[in-house]
Structure 1
Amino acid sequence: MACGFRRSIARQLSRVLDLPPENLIKSISAVPISKKQEVADFQLSVDSLLKSSDDHSRPNIQDQAIRLAEKLKCDTVVSEISTGEGTVNFKINRELLTKTVLQQVIEDGSKYGLKSELFSGLPQKKIVIEFSSPNVAKKFHVGHLRSTIIGNFIANLKEALGHQVTRMNYLGDWGMQFGLLGTGFQLFGYEEKLQCNPLQHLFEIYVQINKEAAEDESITKSAQKFFQRLEVGDLQALALWQRFRDLSIEEYIRIYKRLGVHFDEYSGESFYREKSQEVLKLLDSKGLLQKTIKGTAVVDLSGNGDPSSVCTVMRSDGTSLYATRDLAAAIDRMDKYNFDTMIYVTDKGQRKHFQQVFQMLQIMGYDWAQRCQHIPFGVIRGMKTRRGDVTFLEDVLNEIQLRMLQNMSSVKTTKELENPKETAEKVGLAALIIQDFKGSLSSDYQFSWDRVLQSRGDTGVFLQYTHARLHSLEETFGCGYLDDFNTPYLQEPQCISVIQHLLSHLAAVAHKTLHIRDSPPEVAGARLHLFRAVRSVLANGMKLLGITPVCKM
């Protein structure tokens, strides 16, 4: 939307109401223009400006709107002022709107919208974002998929706003599961399988050893001994663990490349096996560490022995836990990055864990704990591939590609593509990402392949299709018509609505009626400029979401 015009209206209102323009902008919205009816371009909701919540003393909204409208005047931007139901309506100089927006979009390119006054005053900050973070020895499940999609978007957005962002993948590469995995590989492991498909083979071993451990206590004891060897730095045990980790990261990088996601740092719990011991000593020196009858060490966060507020930080054999390593990691990251904000993107099941970690940092004397933030999300239910339950992210990507290829091949308008598999994957990923972002972040949702791959409505497939169609216009007509703006020829209601909102649905409707072929050159050129601007803004938004726009499909 044309933020500059909203700000211009806000400035005039500011002088009348004696309020800062920033407080008024959020109450001004663009009004969609219908072909049959001339309505306002922007409207101010008077109701949202009135702060009194007492219905008896609340002034009449309509009277307030009329009085306010009488105090305002038309100018070079505003051409007409009227009132609606609880609103003050503004018609603006549409030719000025068209010219200003199109010039700004083309001049700013990928930075359009980010150069707005709304963002120009934002201080640049150092931000660490931990996301995805799969467990090397366990399933790379759909929870990690959600974390990857959401974390990538947050990182993209922060970077676009000019912040210095460190993208961190904090692998679950330590803990008792590696005692089990090390023992399991010695019993059931095959070198060839490990080389050929490391993630799958490690997962198979992990499932098998857990089954054996449930039936044989000696297996559990062997696993405990193996993890103790890791904790004390046994070279042979560490060498095997290092191979598991290196092979897994190699696979992850390949899969993340398919997703279009990158990380600045691959960290892991293993980095903090020694520093977690320092954390335990620090907690003890501050009188915060308590030993239980079982020999474990805990921190009482309530201060009064409330069992629900106790966090275990050490096992009875002296080995560290997830919480201990997270404490050590947070302290280390502050030393290394001196961050302004650190964001953890994990499922809502870890909400209590992070509350306890942040609270422990606070009572340890680290005031910067307030800069740590957990962004929880809900669980995806029912995501299955044709082979059964999802095991790895790669299964999901293969399924998306396969289904999208089938859908594309059944549509008559699909163009011949140089690399149909690559296009299918990009369109499929767009479908998956948009499906994920449509609901409430913290809510669980039931996954449906049919819903994800729909081509109509607010879907990723529709976004990609719109972008491809608009790109096709530029390829077909671009060379002959992109000499001048010719904004007087962009005053139809559809044009104004598209310029105000720059949305793909409006553009798709306009594309059907605002023809370029067989139109006079000046009209064709103006319309092509409009569609090129829409495609540019659409591509910018898609990239922020982690979607790679396709030019043909």
Structure 2
Amino acid sequence: MACYFRRTIASKLSKILGAPEETLLAAVSAFPVSKKQQSPDFRLSVSSLVEKGLIQSAGDIQAQTEQLAHQLKWSSVVEEIGVGPAVIHFKINKTLLAKKLLHQISSEGSDFGVKSELFKRSPKGETIVEFSSPNIAKKFHAGHLRSTIIGNFIANLKEALGNNVTRINYLGDWGMQFGLLGAGFKLFGSEEKLKANPLQHLFDVYVQVNKEAKSNEDIQKSAQDFFRRLEGGDDQALSLWQHFRHISIEEYKKVYKRLGVHFGEYSGESMYQGKIQDILQQLREQGLLKTTQRGTGVVDLSPEKDMSLCTTVVRSDGTSLYITRDLTAAIDRKHRYNFAEMIYVTDKSQQNHFEQTFKILEAMGFQWAQCCRHVPFGLVQGMKTRKGDVVFLEDVLDEARARMLQNMRNSRTTKVLENPEDTAEKVGISALIVQDFKGPLLSDYRFDWDRVLQSQGDTGVFLQYTHARLRSLLRMCDDGEEETFDPSLLQDKRAISILQHLLRYDEVLHQSSVDLQPKHLVNFLLALGRLVAVAHRDLPVKDSPSAVAQARLQLFRSTCTVLASGMKILGITPVEKM
């Protein structure tokens, strides 16, 4: 019970320093497990206490550290107190550690970690996460994979922490390209092909009409005419566009289902066409909209208001831009959802766009713009299938499933499965997610199928294998009843290492909730998998004395619970067998 031990230490500190326990809790953290030696269980950063003004700086921080450590007394909970560089270490009674921690995991289940006191001050409320956002009438591009899985992770995490989350898929469903597609479908479209393979046919039509339009002015005029009629609300043009939009969403849902992703709202740029003029009028009335010599409408964001830093929001012909539609969407969402925070997940090329969007909203007097956040990510390089360079996400998912299925067939340890294709799909997607989430989101990375699908090492396959192995152990040895166990029988260093690592789970979730980076959780779970591999080998359950077996089973059962919970937050569906 991380909170129990952390609060015990914070309570002792509170009596000495005269500061509230709640303030001191965050300064006490679980100690990372060391391979070389048995680690302390918790540490207190005296430097952080000085920074927060909880201790007055007296120059020699090490002397202050030693003085404070001397004032702290051992107890039935804390058995040993030591000193490091500006840090105080605490060793907990290990029998009590096993008893309290495993009981808490058993009673809380998937809520373990997310109900921690570390989140007590975290704001709860409506959270909007906008992610994925493909362009309709086009097959789901592989480039949208990162936005989709990152956004899903953020939404899962926020939901687990008690926020009411609305997942928005903001589709690219407006613009001149639909004029081209509308004109092209009349020339090259086929209802029969559209029914058979909707997005592939629309993609083929778009490629063909785009090529023809470069040398054919009549097609260019037809495209302009179609889009003009679309913007004017022409029934025939709107009907065709709505047809394209509907079948696109239905096709996307098939891919999202494979990824385990869902949305509360499918919106798009088209939704805000009729509201843009109201926003532009508001900008005019507030004196924020300026007209340049070229006739474009801009908002001056320069500190000195000398037009040195302007953002264009209206073209010279009066038509809107992407940023205009994003401003309109943000204001509309605040009105409809009254969100506490709104998070946009897109690639890093849009960082400047969102900075400008948030600044304009603030300039308009919307203080809630400070609750808007952009989570940028880097690019994936070298993603190829056996067919060649990847274009469509479906090809990536198919490739992951096919390669994983082949690996499973070649493995001597693969179990007999009812649906091997489904297992291969889930494990393959796990591999894609973990590969993507191991490092900082902002970094580009090079994709390598062989490395991604390895069963050993830091991979999603290894996580799934660890979970399946634990589930197998529980099926074989667990009679389904929660029995009492003797925590004194879990004093082996391998068991202690797992317990110490589990103490960090809530801190890892808290760190991920602060910077919205999944790497903390991924690396925690991978480290847990490595500790489990050693313990599974050295701490047998079968053929051990009954009391020892029951204690170890409780350890493995709790570990499996935390592993599965963390995987689900990442967007991974744990498999029972593989």
- Regarding TM over 0.5, the answer is yes
Task: Work out the CA distance in 1 between the residues paired with 2:38 and 2:241.
Answer: 69
**1:506 and 2:531 aligned:** yes
Aligned partner of 1:322 in structure 2 is 322
User: 1:6-155 maps to which residues of 2 (within 5 A)?
Assistant: 6-21=6-21, 22-23=23-24, 25-32=26-33, 37-46=37-46, 49=49, 51=51, 58-59=59-60, 61=62, 63-84=63-84, 87-138=87-138, 140-155=140-155
After superposition, give the CA deviation of every residue in 1:359-406 in whole Å (9 maximum; x if it has no partner): 222333333222222111111122122222322221111111111111
Alpha-carbon RMSD: 2.4
Q: In structure 2, what residue type is equivalent to 1:79?
A: E
Which sits farther off after the overlay, 203-212 or 102-111? 203-212
Q: 1:451 to 1:272 in 2, by over 3 A?
A: same
| Aligned-pair CA distance for 1:459 | 1.4
Aligned partner of 2:509 in structure 1 is none
**1:309 and 2:322 aligned:** no
CA contact (8 A) 1:175 1:322 kept: no
| Aligned-pair CA distance for 1:84 | 4.4
Q: 1:263 to 1:38 in 2, by over 3 A?
A: closer
Aligned partner of 2:544 in structure 1 is 519
Q: 1:37 to 1:360 in 2, by over 3 A?
A: closer
Q: In structure 1, what residue type is equivalent to 2:236?
A: Q
Q: 1:261 to 1:512 in 2, by over 3 A?
A: same
Aligned partner of 1:268 in structure 2 is 268
Q: In structure 2, what residue type is equivalent to 1:513?
A: D
Q: 1:299 to 1:138 in 2, by over 3 A?
A: farther
Q: Secondary structure of the equivalent of 1:128?
A: strand
Aligned partner of 1:546 in structure 2 is 571
Q: Secondary structure of the equivalent of 1:273?
A: helix
User: 1:49-448 maps to which residues of 2 (within 5 A)?
Assistant: 49=49, 51=51, 58-59=59-60, 61=62, 63-84=63-84, 87-138=87-138, 140-291=140-291, 296-302=296-302, 304=305, 306=307, 309-314=310-315, 316=317, 318-448=318-448
Q: Secondary structure of the equivalent of 1:266?
A: strand
Q: In structure 2, what residue type is equivalent to 1:491?
A: Q
Q: Which structure 1 segments of 5+ residues have no match?
A: none
Q: Secondary structure of the equivalent of 1:516?
A: coil
Q: In structure 2, what residue type is equivalent to 1:545?
A: L
Task: Work out the CA distance in 1 between the residues paired with 2:410 and 2:94.
Answer: 42
| Aligned-pair CA distance for 1:20 | 4.6
| Aligned-pair CA distance for 1:296 | 4.4
After superposition, give the CA deviation of every residue in 1:103-131 in whole Å (9 maximum; x if it has no partner): 10010011111222222444421111111
| Aligned-pair CA distance for 1:452 | 1.3
Task: Work out the CA distance in 2 between the residues paired with 1:216 and 1:26.
Answer: 69
Identical aligned residues as a percent: 60
| Aligned-pair CA distance for 1:272 | 1.2
Task: Work out the CA distance in 1 between the residues paired with 2:86 and 2:364.
Answer: 53
Instruction: Output the TM-score relative to the length of structure 1.
Output: 0.93
Q: Which structure 2 segments of 5+ residues have no match?
A: 503-527
Instruction: Output the TM-score relative to the length of structure 2.
Output: 0.89
CA contact (8 A) 1:142 1:380 kept: no
CA contact (8 A) 2:13 2:24 kept: no
Task: Work out the CA distance in 2 between the residues paired with 1:378 and 1:9.
Answer: 41
Task: Work out the CA distance in 1 between the residues paired with 2:71 and 2:110.
Answer: 39
| Aligned-pair CA distance for 1:501 | 0.8
Task: Work out the CA distance in 2 between the residues paired with 1:26 and 1:409.
Answer: 50
Q: 1:38 to 1:336 in 2, by over 3 A?
A: closer
Which sits farther off after the overlay, 134-143 or 254-263? 134-143
Q: Secondary structure of the equivalent of 1:215?
A: coil
CA contact (8 A) 2:140 2:252 kept: no
| Aligned-pair CA distance for 1:508 | 1.6
Task: Work out the CA distance in 2 between the residues paired with 1:139 and 1:315.
Answer: 33
